[in-house]
Chain A
Amino acid sequence: MIGRYKFEIGCILVLALAFLATQAEFNRFYYFAGFAILQYVMIATAWNILGGYGGYINFGTAGFLGVGSYVAIGLIEWGDAAIVWQVVAAAVVAGLLGLFIGYFTLRLKGVYFAIATLALAIVLETIVNNWDFVGGAAGISILPPRKPELLGILIVDRKGDGIFSNSKEFLFFLMAAMAIFSVWVARTVERGKLGRGLNAIKDNEEAAECMGVPTLRLKLIATTLSGALMGAAGGIFPSYMTFVDPPTAFNLEFAVNSLAMPMIGGTFTWLGPVVGAVLLGTVQQIAIVTISSELNLLILGVLLVIFVTVAPHGIVGWFMKKNK
């Protein structure tokens, strides 16, 4: 009984740990770094659903994330929507965006999908730059709500009447919950029909099609799912950062990380992106403080190229081979 639900129990334990961390009142920096790492766990996991299982590379992570962010900003500007609705709306819009791009390009070779997603991020940034309602090129500041409530329960209160004593801690917890949820989704996909179908597409799309795998439909489902998770990760971003401008929301770093983390961790299992994100995310958080952020990015690029060329199965693959 317990053996069967080992993974789910692990998820609840990690979530409980995250909750305890919010009550411990550590130095603010740790929550910030933790938030960034958890966000990367979610993004890398989302990327891997299409990229790792299906072999279709998405360079437009920044685009999906940016859309999520700006949907949330739009909702805040329009009528102070609660954070939960911001995240849900961001996920829906980004998912539809994935479906739209996929519908146009997924019938063709994977290369075309990759190029279209790369261009997508740039065009979306152009649109936001020209759209003053969400701040335009100058960016926009977001004030977190004073005393957010959910189902009548006070979530955040400085005096200690709520569950969390400040909104950053609450958002940290929410991010942890979302990251764990996406890992669960990825694992479910991997073990189900969808994941097996995607694997078949990755190995040989023509053969899969001939064996009756509905390739286009599976690819579209995967793109939508992956885009929705990225969008949700973007939806929480404005509330946490409190200031967003197009270069932050559409940062190319997201695209590189979302690709490098699964590739370095290992793309064939849900564990790969998690390992890659925690490892690279931690190293980056340390490197940004101790060395310059440009050098940090350079290391990231070089690592990506090294792993792609000489260790295509990533860290997890390397360990598995050793154990055999």
Chain B
Amino acid sequence: MDFLELLINALIAGVLLGGFFAALSIGLSICFGLLDTVNLAHPTLIVAAAFCTFLLNDVFGLDPILAGVLITPVFFVIGLVIYTAYYQFFEKNSAEALRGLAFFFGLLFITEVILIMVFGVDHRLVNAAYIGKSMGMSLGTIDVSIPYRLLVAFAVAAIMTLGLQMFLDRSFFGRATRAVHQDMMALSLMGVDPVAIKRIAFAIGLGTCGLAGALMIVVIPIEPAVGRLFIGNVFAIVVLGGLGSISGTLIAAMILGIAESVVSTFFGPSWAPAVSFGILLGVLAFRPTGLLGVGDTR
């Protein structure tokens, strides 16, 4: 393969990967960007959802995407519980924000250890018709090969992220969520309970873990510690996109997907984790408000 062919393949894979990254980060963009709850456990909860998908696929032979849709409500409820606890212990009496961080870090660790105890540290895969096959195409003299699993993940991720974005843009609830982000006091003067809005918005953000987990196990083999690898990615995307901006998150996910794909094509996949960190550090140093952000970073 010559350089051009490699590059075009890397770019196409990068766009598809970017869609997958968008599905991983959109929930965090809601929780962290709009609600200011720094849910460090987000990627690990996605891995937990991926293991649920694995079980449903392995035991009942369900299609992984369908399994993801089924477990999403479960993660919605988990989100309600986590936010209620978080509010009760930290937000209500405006405790040091950083203790909340330690709380989510503990949650991350507990989830990971439970996954190790239940499933062990082996890599797990799912079975579906579209996994393991590629679609070949030729554009002029250039051969392009697209794995179907990336295509499926991209399609589902696109539906999920664009749907959520429309919901947050158009519905009353979406506007209320952004109002919480801008001015909680004003919202409560309008007769809306900001805590109730935040609780539901957080649960929606966490609910996305269900489907995102299914996509994860479709795209890569998973093991309990894999969540940590994605911490850099999801936070880099949310910060790069700009806190509080869902469309910024989608653009940032594309940028990161393409960057990672190009780097793993030309420098080897073992260097991919360094990309997100480089981007994260660069953004924090030079443009902490991100691409489309309006938030306060100090």
Query: Measuring CB to CB, which residues of chain A are less than 8 angstroms from any residue of chain B?
Result: 55-57, 59, 104-105, 107-112, 114-116, 118-120, 122-123, 126-127, 129-130, 202, 252, 256, 259-260, 263, 294-295, 297-298, 300-302, 304-305, 308-310, 312
Contact = CB atoms under 8 A, between A and B. Distances in A.
Chain A to chain B: the 4 pairs with minimum beta-carbon distance, closest first = A119-B232, A301-B110, A305-B106, A123-B277
B226 to A, nearest CB: 11
Contacts of A109: 297-298
Given A112-B239, A112-B288, A302-B110, A308 B102 contact: yes
B109 to A, nearest CB: 4
A298 B231 CA distance: 21
B270 A126 contact: yes
B297 A112 contact: yes
Contacts of B105: 59, 256, 259, 304
B192 interface: no
A304 B229 CA distance: 23
A55 B96 contact: yes
Interface of B: 38, 40, 85, 89-90, 95-99, 101-103, 105-107, 109-110, 112-114, 116-117, 225, 228-229, 231-232, 235-236, 239, 268, 270-271, 273-274, 276-278, 280-281, 284-285, 288, 297-298
Contacts of A127: 274
Contact of B113 (A120, A202, A294, A305): A294
25 contacts: A55-B98, A56-B98, A108-B284, A108-B288, A109-B298, A111-B97, A115-B231, A115-B235, A115-B239, A116-B281, A118-B232, A119-B277, A122-B229, A123-B232, A123-B274, A123-B277, A126-B274, A129-B270, A130-B268, A252-B228, A259-B102, A263-B102, A295-B117, A302-B106, A305-B107
B273 A123 contact: yes
A312 B95 contact: yes
Nearest to B111: A301
A307 to B, nearest CB: 9
Contacts of B110: 298, 301-302, 305
B273 A309 contact: no
Nearest to B238: A115
A258 B271 CA distance: 28
A308 B99 contact: yes
Contacts of B268: 130
B149 to A, nearest CB: 24
Q: Is the interface of A mostly helix, strand, loop or mixed?
A: helix
A118 B297 contact: no
Most A Cβ at <10 Å: residue of B38, B40, B102, B276: B102
A301 B113 CA distance: 9
Nearest to B109: A301
Contacts of B112: 252
A136 B85 CA distance: 42
Contacts of A110: 97-98, 101
Contact of B109 (A119, A256, A263): A256
Contact of A107 (B236, B274, B298): B298
Nearest to A298: B113
Given A123-B274, A126-B270, A301-B113, A114 B284 contact: no
Given A119-B232, A305-B106, A298 B117 contact: yes
Contacts of B117: 294-295, 298
A34 to B, nearest CB: 25
A34 B225 CA distance: 29
B52 to A, nearest CB: 19
A119 B280 CA distance: 9
B101 A114 contact: yes
A105 B288 CA distance: 9
Nearest to A247: B225
A104 B279 CA distance: 12
Contacts of A310: 89
Nearest to A100: B281
Contacts of A105: 281, 284-285
A27 B268 CA distance: 47
Given A57-B98, A57-B102, A294-B113, A108 B298 contact: yes
A60 B231 CA distance: 13
Contacts of A252: 109, 112, 225, 228
Given A118-B232, A309-B85, 20 more contacts: A56-B98, A108-B297, A112-B284, A114-B98, A114-B101, A118-B231, A119-B231, A119-B276, A119-B277, A126-B270, A126-B274, A130-B271, A256-B105, A260-B106, A294-B113, A294-B117, A298-B117, A300-B109, A308-B103, A308-B106
A310 B270 CA distance: 41
Contacts of A309: 85, 89-90, 103
B287 to A, nearest CB: 11
Contacts of B103: 305, 308-309
Contacts of A260: 106
A294 to B, nearest CB: 5
A112 to B, nearest CB: 6
A304 B113 CA distance: 14
